[in-house]
Chain A
Amino acid sequence: MQKHLQDNICEERLFSSIFKKYAKDLHNFLYYKYGELLNPKDKVQEAFIKLWENCAKVSPDKAKSFVFTIANNLMLNETAHQKVILKYQQTKPKTYTNENPEFLMQETEYNNKLQKALSNLTEAQREAFLMNRIEGKRFKEIAEVLNISTKAVEKRIYGALEKLRKDIKEL
């Protein structure tokens, strides 16, 4: 394989650009998959430091899957596959603050149900669904991040949506 000097991740400029390109995606991916309790930010840092230490061995086109795999493994080392509880923001957009207390109570109740329903999703469903719904990523982008087909992403997200709605109704 031919390698050019500028293709070396050991060069800080290239390393930084790779970081800027993937770090946020990686963080959000970890966050939605494993929750914030396991410090997704630290895992991102660790994964990129590993990338730096192996910069001579990893070609730039492999860098993304390298850091994703490393970070995911770091998470797996720590999780005992406990339920992932995602926290939600209590503060509401201003338009809602004028609502009556009953409405606010209903909102909290709904969010609690949603929280439980989200933790009932599989990791695969949750990561794809939340990247789509919250980060506004399209199926194709998610497929690239997760290294799976667009069709699979679509299936996961739709499946997640149906499961959520069913769970919320039942709760």
Chain B
Amino acid sequence: MMNREELIVKWLNNDLNDLELEAFKMLEDYDDLIKLDANLKSFKADEYDTSKELESVLKTITQKRQTQTNWFKPFLRVAAILAICFGAYYYTTTLDTTVTTKLAQKTMVELPDNSKVSLNAKSTLVFNKSTWKKHRDVELNGEAFFKVAKGSTFHVNTTSGTVTVYGTEFNIKQRDNYFEVICYEGLVGVKYKSQETKLKAGDSFLIIDGKTIAKEKENRSQPSWLNNESTFKSLPFKEVIAEFERQYNVDIQLLNIDDTQLFTGSFAHSNIDVALKAITLPFDITYSKTNRTILLKRE
């Protein structure tokens, strides 16, 4: 015979067979159990309508999905466009700015801090707008006159040497085997072959073919080329010729002429015939002109 607990457990699990059911009914607390069981039924959970609930869940889900795609896809598009724009903007603004002059051309460049640079013919100036606040660095190839606004150290890098300034006016001429810095105002440091030379107003620094050439004090307030004139003081004739070629975009050939003899004088950039006379008369040279080629000849 089963004991009371076993019978009740079987009853709970709906497992009683006929015989056991009879035994269960014989239990003294049978009535109590049945009463309890009957009354428990009134504690039934709220009706749960599965299909209605499912419908509402699916509705919420589709709404969510829609709102998600509704703003998400256009948002992605906008974000992509913005990213491209920003990338392009960033790329272009951090790019170096390059100013180049051709033969027989001059130009004026204003740097981000209002420093002014005049570029002579066939010269290139490179600077970076975005890093300008941190480093006032420019790269120069050719000849330029600088009017530097006051501020942090200003560097001009050339292939021959570096020029450091603190707010001043100076001219740099860097051509093949020729490197000249003239300080017109303030203080300029020239670093040439890791040796620094300080230039005060009126001082100049000149290297030709690696040799330092001493020069007398400069008394003009700015280089003559700004006034469309090239001036030379005891400089080899080949430098004069080279400058002439740059200013007039011509090709000069020399015949029987020693191009190392020193020349003092100037030529204007406005009239080629007057200019030719200016550089040929002192040496008693004749010239003949065919198109862009000029032949200088000593009789």
Judge whether A157 and B48 touch: CB under 8 Å: no
Judge whether A136 and B45 touch: CB under 8 Å: no
Q: With A16-B54, A45-B56 in contact, do A138 and B39 touch (Cβ < 8 Å)?
A: no
Taking the nearest CB of chain B, how far is it from the CB of A103, in angstroms? 12
Taking the nearest CB of chain A, how far is it from the CB of B63, in angstroms? 10
Q: With A49-B61, A134-B45 in contact, do A20 and B54 touch (Cβ < 8 Å)?
A: yes
Interface of B is mostly: helix
The answer for the CA separation of A153 and B265 in the assembled complex, in Å, is 116
Taking the nearest CB of chain B, how far is it from the CB of A136, in angstroms? 7
Interface positions of A (Cβ within 8 A of B): 12, 16, 19-20, 23-24, 27-28, 31-32, 36, 40-41, 44-45, 48-49, 52, 86-89, 92, 107, 110-111, 114-115, 118, 130, 132-136, 138-139, 154, 157-158, 161, 164-165, 168
The answer for the CA separation of A96 and B8 in the assembled complex, in Å, is 27
> Which one of B9-17, B135-143, B289-297 is at the interface?
B9-17
Select one of B5, B40, B48, B54 contacting A130, CB under 8 A: B40
Task: Enumerate chain A residues within 8 angstroms of B8, measured Cβ to Cβ.
Answer: 158, 161
Select one of B9, B43, B44 contacting A154, CB under 8 A: B9
Q: With A31-B46, A89-B44, A158-B5 in contact, do A48 and B57 touch (Cβ < 8 Å)?
A: yes
Report 11 cross-chain contacts, Cβ distance below 8 Å, ordered by A residue. A19-B53, A23-B54, A40-B45, A49-B61, A114-B39, A130-B45, A133-B12, A138-B13, A157-B12, A158-B5, A165-B32
Judge whether B44 and A134 touch: CB under 8 Å: yes
Task: Enumerate chain B residues within 8 angstroms of A157, measured Cβ to Cβ.
Answer: 9, 12
Considering only CB atoms and an 8 Å cut-off, how many residues of chain B contact the other chain? 31
CB-CB nearest in chain A for B61: A52
B42 interface residue per 8 A CB criterion = yes
Task: Enumerate chain B residues within 8 angstroms of A20, measured Cβ to Cβ.
Answer: 50-51, 54
Per-residue 0/1 for B61-73: is the Cβ within 8 Å of any A Cβ (1 yes, 0 no)?
A: 1001000000000
The answer for the CA separation of A27 and B41 in the assembled complex, in Å, is 17
Q: Using a CB-CB cutoff of 8 Å, which residues 10-60 of chain B contact chain A?
A: 12-14, 29, 32-33, 35-37, 39-46, 48, 50-51, 53-54, 56-58, 60
The answer for the CA separation of A56 and B41 in the assembled complex, in Å, is 40
Taking the nearest CB of chain B, how far is it from the CB of A168, in angstroms? 7
The answer for the CA separation of A20 and B57 in the assembled complex, in Å, is 12
Task: Enumerate chain B residues within 8 angstroms of A45, measured Cβ to Cβ.
Answer: 53, 56-57, 60
Task: Enumerate chain A residues within 8 angstroms of B43, measured Cβ to Cβ.
Answer: 86-89, 114-115, 118, 130, 134
The answer for the CA separation of A133 and B44 in the assembled complex, in Å, is 9
CB-CB nearest in chain A for B54: A19
Q: With A114-B39, A138-B14 in contact, do A158 and B9 touch (Cβ < 8 Å)?
A: yes
CB-CB nearest in chain A for B40: A133
The answer for the CA separation of A154 and B12 in the assembled complex, in Å, is 9
Judge whether A36 and B44 touch: CB under 8 Å: no
Taking the nearest CB of chain A, how far is it from the CB of B230, in angstroms? 77
Task: Enumerate chain B residues within 8 angstroms of A135, measured Cβ to Cβ.
Answer: 45
The answer for the CA separation of A23 and B53 in the assembled complex, in Å, is 9
Task: Enumerate chain B residues within 8 angstroms of A41, measured Cβ to Cβ.
Answer: 46, 48, 53
* Nearest 6 interchain pairs by C-beta: A31-B45, A88-B42, A89-B42, A27-B48, A28-B45, A19-B54
Task: Enumerate chain B residues within 8 angstroms of A165, measured Cβ to Cβ.
Answer: 29, 32-33, 36
CB-CB nearest in chain A for B29: A165
The answer for the CA separation of A86 and B39 in the assembled complex, in Å, is 13
Task: Enumerate chain B residues within 8 angstroms of A16, measured Cβ to Cβ.
Answer: 54, 58
Taking the nearest CB of chain A, how far is it from the CB of B17, in angstroms? 15
Judge whether B53 and A139 touch: CB under 8 Å: no
Select one of A24, A32, A88, A161 contacting B12, CB under 8 A: A161
Judge whether B37 and A23 touch: CB under 8 Å: no
